[in-house]
Amino acid sequence: MKLIGMLDSPFVRRVAVTMKLLELPFEHESVSVMRDYETFRTYNPLVKAPTLIMDDGTILMESSLILELVEKLAGPGQGLMPEGLDDYVRAQRIIGLSLIAAEKTVQKVYEHNMRASENIDLKWLSRVETQLADAYRALNAELKKSTDWSCGPKLTQADITAAIAWKFTEHVFPKLADDRTYPAIAALSERAEAIPEFIDTPLE
């Protein structure tokens, strides 16, 4: 399998880290959807990161859908989603909040990088920043309920996604990722980023 996309994307990175944790072999091609648009099109004409190319040539997109497949490939009892219903629902809520935070951070990046400063839509940007803060506030409240990883003693996809979303925001907009405001998220991210598979998959 081949994973296409830059590790500065939280969506690409969550797939890469997960596949390493599950010991699923893959090749990573670090191709930017912005700087390497035409090159990316040779892999996927829709230019969507992450793109996963299966061994038979099937092209898959969207990190959450790719990770559903990855869970299947890992085999019964080997995946990173909780098996109990209550913990599964909790994991899905944490993943959802984390993905919203990641998406809003990406939107803020695009607003700054794709428009001239005089053309930035300040009203839109304010709304995005409010949504980002609300997502992290809700995520921090969820994680404060945990005494170990978010869904018990075992690292799950909820922890991976939350940690990677936070690291991304911290990297591009550090003032919006204040560990004093969101201490539970910051602590989770720091713990996860110390795991070898995270260290081996650095945010580029």
Dist CA 52 CA 58 (whole Å): 8
- Is pLDDT of 61 > 70? yes
- Is pLDDT of 203 > 80? yes
Q: How confident is the model at residue 111, as a pLDDT?
A: 77
Q: Which percentage of the chain shows pLDDT scores above 70?
A: 98
DSSP letters, 116-170, are -GGG--HHHHHHHHHHHHHHHHHHHHHHTT-SSBTTBSS--HHHHHHHHHHHHHH
Q: How confident is the model at residue 204, as a pLDDT?
A: 79
Mean pLDDT across 14-22:
98
Q: How confident is the model at residue 120, as a pLDDT?
A: 73
Q: How confident is the model at residue 56, as a pLDDT?
A: 97
Q: How confident is the model at residue 116, as a pLDDT?
A: 67
- Is pLDDT of 192 > 70? yes
- Is pLDDT of 196 > 70? yes
Residue 100: closest CA among 172, 11, 17, 16: 11
- For 147-180, write each residue's pLDDT tens digit: 999 999 999 999 999 999 999 999 999 999 999 9
Q: How confident is the model at residue 158, as a pLDDT?
A: 98
**Out of 40-44, 64-68, 108-112, least confident range:** 108-112
Q: How confident is the model at residue 122, as a pLDDT?
A: 80
CATH superfamily placement of domain 2-74: Glutaredoxin (3.40.30.10)
Domain limits, the chain: 2-74, 85-199
Mean pLDDT across 11-37:
97
- Is pLDDT of 127 > 90? yes
What is the DSSP pairing of strand 2-4 with strand 27-29?
parallel
More confident residue, 112 or 156: 156
Dist CA 127 CA 133 (whole Å): 10
Q: Which percentage of the chain shows pLDDT scores above 90?
A: 89
CATH number of the 85-199 domain: 1.20.1050.10
SS3 31: coil
- Is pLDDT of 47 > 70? yes
- Is pLDDT of 100 > 70? yes
